[in-house]
Chains A and B, each alone.
Chain A
Amino acid sequence: MKSIIGRAATLAALALAALSAAAQTEISFYYPVAVGGPITKIVDAYAADFEKENPAIKVKPIYAGTYQETIVKALTAHKSGTPPVTSVLLSTDMFTLIDEDAIVPFDDIATSAEDKAWIKSFYPAFMANSQTGGKTWGIPFQRSTIVLYWNKELFKEAGLDPNKPPATWREMLDYAQKLTKRDAAGNATQWGLQIPSSGFPYWLFQGLTTPNGVELMNATGTQTYFDKPEVIEALAYWVDLGRRHKVMSTGVIEWGTTPKDFFERKIAMMWTTTGNLTNVRNNAKFDFGVAMLPASKRRGSPTGGGNFYVFKKSTKEQQQAALKFIKFVTTPERAAQWGIETGYVAVRPDAWETAKMQEYVKGFPVAAVARDQLQFSVAELSTHDNQRVTKALNDGIQAALTGAKTPEQAMKDAQAEAARILRAAR
């Protein structure tokens, strides 16, 4: 009798042990898809490969839409008590996430010496939007900068050297004037330049303010500088392109259709994200070039794109599992592969040194332009109550571009609004 009970108890204990060993840590992972291509497939493959190496962890990738939609979903989930364990969100959402007490700094989970070295291995330009108050809150994953694409055939037609992109604002205007074609009635059939202004014009605006030597906010996200004279100057340059020099369409130009405009040869030069590189490569039926943004007082561009964040309302095991996954996905080889397949900029210098990346760059040199621009790049506009502040700036830019306000008035109003919002946020 005793032995049977004894054996049953041992069996039960063994079963229990086996069950708890088989108990997995599950991490849910929201990610946005901002570029085309089989992103969901790649992410699913990463999850599967990671699970193979780490059988105790289960990764659930959840495709959540655009950056905007993903932050809404993540915060929605956080407020209702069941946030994802980790998510890729805009690097500029950092202050919002901190204010909502939604995320943990990586310093709290990445504690070993090896981990600390890993945090240091990313490009400083990308870390600018990822660190504040001496702590690291985000790890760069899919990052980008703005670049200028140009149609080499149209350059040749206009008598310009097809291999020499404009390097200064003076040159860009000059080239654009040569590249703008009109028909007999005076209507433009081809615009020299296109800088889109729908949705998030502030980002492209930073492609003008940074070269003009000015930053739009302070490092702690508590102050904005929209009404500095260099900022107003940059806006005036942008507005004049359309309204005075007539090398660009007036009004607000749609971001989503700009690549298509380029493929249709309706525009000769366009400003858009380096994330569009693969798209342009596949769809442009002509020779094209990619260049850094032209300089005014210096070269410059904002960075863009998304970081990994780890959410607070998760267990310690889940946070460690998430950290493992994030490290897995940002090894030099995977960072290189992600950059090659999507057109994003590989986020760490040693990724560019891998054999695969070097081969890729040799065959497609323009892929390195965005990387080379990193040394001139600054943080993307990011403040507390970020959405509201950027909306104030966006509205101001659009008001100037549509002629509703002068650049000076528009920026003064935007600054006043931003100051009011930031005061209330404190």
Chain B
Amino acid sequence: MRASAAIHGWLLLLPAAALLALFTHWPVVGTLWDSFHATPKGGRAAPFVGLENYQVMVADEVFWRSLVNNLWYALGTIPLSIALAIVMALWVNSAMRGRTWLRMAFFTPTVLPMIAVANIWLFFYTPQYGLLEQFTSLFGMSSRNWLGDPQTALACVTVVAIWKEAGFFMIFYLAALQSIPPSLGEAAALEGASRGYYFRRVVFPLLMPTTLFVLVNAVINSFRLVDHIVVMTRGGPNNATSLLLFHVYQVGFSFWDTGYAAALTVVLLFILASCAVGQFVFIDKRVHYQ
């Protein structure tokens, strides 16, 4: 009975496991392997070059720029989109007027492909007659080249990412909020607790599992979503908005330097793995899972 259960278990798992192995685990190993080889050119196979690709990487200004940019970008998008998502969920969950409309407004960015909205945001940021400029000129601010100035370009694409993500996270928080028994809120009100206190001490801890889930998503997205970079800035001005995955794409599919692209990918994988480890350690301490 035991043995047949075990066999059944493996059989059930097999299809998914096969695909996972082929498209996740094998590529991870393959990427590591390729990063120690030079790019195959013409007919000849790839020669082993040890750490050469990594040495090139250390000397590559664009890599460091992309890495730093990605870290700032993640630091910008993750906390802000989560915080906004919580606020939005609280609003939509409350008795506020127009909350159905609000819910729709907050969620619509999720339904639009990033590629599509990036062009619209390009208009918003256009100097002189773009929407943002039309607004700032009302306040007498001078025209800025928002996307063409290395000082502001990264912030601008960060805003686009936050706009895209917050509504999606909101839905998860909304579901979590709606499963909090209203009696808790009533009890707190009876005891004279302020809304802020109630939120900090009761609601937020109860939202922890959702926050963790959303955090995982936000971290992944901050490294995976580069569509808006492709459309709006192509990594410019002067690599000010170049992100890691975008650089991988450029090196791998524009320069066709697959050896070096593999080395860059290894860095990306390492960062993601570290985040995963960090988050699972965090789970054990704070949240109880079955």
* A residues in contact (CB < 8 Å) with B: 68, 72, 75-76, 99-101, 185-189, 197-199, 249-254, 256-257, 260-261, 264, 266, 385, 387-388, 391, 394-395, 398-399, 401-402, 404
Contacts and interface: CB of A to CB of B under 8 A. Distances in A.
Interface string B47-66: 00000000000000010000
A72, A188, A254, A394: most-surrounded residue (chain B CB, <10 A): A254
Contact of A251 (B43, B126, B237): B237
A263 B41 CA distance: 47
Contacts of A186: 142
Contacts of B122: 254, 256-257
A99, A253, A385, A402: most-surrounded residue (chain B CB, <10 A): A402
B135 interface: no
A249 B145 contact: yes
Interface in B63-120: none
B149 A402 contact: yes
Contacts of A395: 62, 238-239
A252 B234 contact: no
15 contacts: A72-B253, A75-B256, A186-B142, A187-B142, A197-B237, A199-B234, A252-B236, A264-B129, A388-B257, A391-B250, A395-B238, A402-B149, A402-B237, A402-B238, A404-B150
Q: Taking chain B's interface residues, is the majority helix, strand, or loop, or is none over half, making it mixed?
A: loop
A197 B254 CA distance: 20
A253 B148 contact: yes
B149 A254 contact: no
A249 B237 contact: no
Contacts of A99: 41-42
A394 B237 CA distance: 10
Given A101-B42, A257-B122, A385 B255 contact: yes
Contacts of A199: 234, 236
Give the interface size class of chain B: 20 to 34
B177 interface: no
B264 to A, nearest CB: 14
Nearest to B257: A388
B147 interface: yes
Nearest to A249: B145
A257 B129 CA distance: 11
B142, B143, B234, B237: most-surrounded residue (chain A CB, <10 A): B237
A391 B148 CA distance: 17
Given A187-B142, A254-B147, A257-B122, A198 B237 contact: yes
B185 interface: no
B127 interface: yes
A250 B145 contact: yes
B254 A251 contact: no
B148 A252 contact: yes
Contacts of B236: 198-199, 252, 394, 398
B140 interface: yes
Interface in B114-154: 122, 126-129, 140, 142-143, 145, 147-150
Interface in B220-266: 233-234, 236-239, 250, 253-257
B180 to A, nearest CB: 47
Nearest to A425: B41
Contacts of A187: 142-143
Contact of A185 (B140, B147, B254): B140
B234 A198 contact: yes
Contact of A198 (B148, B250, B255): B148
Nearest to B129: A264
Contacts of A185: 140, 142
Given A72-B253, A395-B238, A251 B149 contact: yes
A266 B133 CA distance: 13
A251 B148 contact: yes
A76 B41 CA distance: 14
B150 A402 contact: yes
Given A198-B148, A266-B128, A404-B150, A252 B255 contact: no
B129 A266 contact: yes
A249 B236 CA distance: 16
A258 to B, nearest CB: 10
Contacts of A387: 254-255
Nearest to B237: A252
Contacts of A260: 126
A251 B253 contact: no
Contacts of A254: 122, 126, 147-148
Contacts of B62: 395
Contacts of B127: 249
Contacts of A198: 148, 233-234, 236-237
A83 B129 CA distance: 44
A288 to B, nearest CB: 19
A72 B257 CA distance: 13
A395 B250 CA distance: 14
Contacts of B43: 101
Contacts of A257: 122, 126
Contacts of A398: 236-238
B185 to A, nearest CB: 50
Nearest to B43: A101
A394 B238 CA distance: 8
A252 B238 CA distance: 9
- What 10 pairs between A and B have smallest CB-CB spacing? A252-B237, A251-B148, A252-B148, A398-B238, A251-B145, A187-B142, A251-B149, A399-B238, A266-B128, A387-B254
